[in-house]
Amino acid sequence: MELLDLDEDSLMEIFSYFSFDDLLMLSAVCGRFLQLCQRHLRKIRHFELDYRAIAGCENYEQRLGNIFRSLGPSMEAFRLSAGYIMDEKLKQTIVDNLSRYCTSLRHLTINYTILTELHLRPLAVLLRTLVSLDLGRCDLTDASLGEFLQSQSTLQLRTLAIPGNPHLSGAFFANWTNCPVLEQLDLSYCYSLNVDMMEEFLEHAKRLAAVDATGSLWLQRNKDIFHKEGRSITMGTELPELTYFKSG
């Protein structure tokens, strides 16, 4: 008897002993192996990419393609904490794979990675399903962030975290009206942020209940903006904490 003569349940049991990397390699053997590997890999719903391990691979484009093809359709949460000196080609490959395969993503975290409009535009398609988004310390600008947030007619976002982006003045709030269910907004350590620019935005974000503007140079003189028209917005946020499977 050959391996492929075994029934489906027996093969699934055998494949359950293989590691993440083993399953990725076996998925390239044949169509049946691909199906078996994907059934195991798609049990991983929360995934953190170790970009350092990927950067050390000669064929990282193929490896990333295998990872996202296998995990992407069922992935609910993705996290990447990279570095400001991250290779641009590698970064763009990750972004393109995210936007292509992760069509049901609900939580996205990208930290310590410079993101320009070239990266945000492909990622905009993910806003159709995201309920929480964390782009902390990504060197964001008002122009690129504003275009990104307004790219979809209505957002499902309940939590938006953009801490540690010192170039944001708050101009991205202009004309931002597609956020009806937003509940938490983390703007901490955005030192240039002028909270006065949020006034029109607050009229549309009816469910916003918590804001963290720690470090804003304008906060102390304009804190009353969060208590107009009988609203009481808490100063401080509680971001969702998820457990991730980590692998390169």
31 exposure class (CB count in 10 Å sphere: 0-12, 13-18, 19+): exposed
Considering the domain architecture, whether residues 22 and 132 belong to the same structural domain is answered as no
Torsion of CA 81, 234, 145, 48, to 10 degrees: 20
- Side-chain-side CA neighbours of 43 within 13 Å: the count stands at 9
pLDDT at 72: 94
Among the three residues 27, 43, 59, which one is the final residue of a domain in this structure? 43
pLDDT at 8: 83
Query: CA of 28: how far to CAs of 35, 140, 197, in Å?
Result: 10, 38, 52
Q: What is the pLDDT of residues 47-103, one digit of tens each?
A: 999 888 888 888 899 999 999 999 999 999 999 988 777 889 999 999 999 999 999
Q: Does residue 38 register a pLDDT over 70?
A: yes
Nearest to 182 by CA among 156, 144, 148: 156
Between 219 and 185, where is the model more confident?
185
Considering the domain architecture, whether residues 15 and 73 belong to the same structural domain is answered as no
pLDDT at 27: 86
What global pTM score does this model have?
0.92
Considering the domain architecture, whether residues 83 and 29 belong to the same structural domain is answered as no
Among the three residues 10, 28, 43, which one is the final residue of a domain in this structure? 43
Considering the domain architecture, whether residues 12 and 98 belong to the same structural domain is answered as no
Average pLDDT, the chain: 91
Tell me what the mean pLDDT of segment 153-179 comes to: 96
Q: What share of the chain is helix, strand, coil (3-state, %, to 5)?
A: 45, 10, 45
Helix (H, G, I), strand (E, B) or coil at 210: strand
Considering the domain architecture, whether residues 132 and 65 belong to the same structural domain is answered as yes
Write the CB contacts of 22 (distance below 8 Å, at least 6 apart in sequence). none
Domain hosting 175: range is 45-246
Q: Does residue 248 register a pLDDT over 70?
A: no
**How many structural domains comprise the chain?**
2
Considering the domain architecture, whether residues 92 and 166 belong to the same structural domain is answered as yes
Q: What is the pLDDT of residues 14-24, one digit of tens each?
A: 989 999 989 98
- Count the neighbouring beta carbons within 10 Å of the beta carbon of residue 38: 17
Q: What is the pLDDT of residues 200-244, one digit of tens each?
A: 899 899 999 999 988 887 765 666 778 777 778 888 899 889 999
Q: Does residue 112 register a pLDDT over 90?
A: yes
Helix (H, G, I), strand (E, B) or coil at 61: helix
Considering the domain architecture, whether residues 151 and 123 belong to the same structural domain is answered as yes
Considering the domain architecture, whether residues 84 and 174 belong to the same structural domain is answered as yes
Tokens coding 219: 């906060």
- H or E, element range at 147: helix 142-149
Write the CB contacts of 189 (distance below 8 Å, at least 6 apart in sequence). 163, 164, 166, 214, 215
CA 9 vs. chain centroid, Å, equals: 35
- One-letter amino acid for residue 117 of the chain: E
Considering the domain architecture, whether residues 1 and 111 belong to the same structural domain is answered as no
Q: At CA 235, angle to CA 172 and CA 111, rounded to 5? A: 55
Tokens coding 235: 């100063």
Strand-pair partners of 193: none
Considering the domain architecture, whether residues 131 and 187 belong to the same structural domain is answered as yes
Considering the domain architecture, whether residues 105 and 160 belong to the same structural domain is answered as yes
45 exposure class (CB count in 10 Å sphere: 0-12, 13-18, 19+): middle
Considering the domain architecture, whether residues 160 and 102 belong to the same structural domain is answered as yes
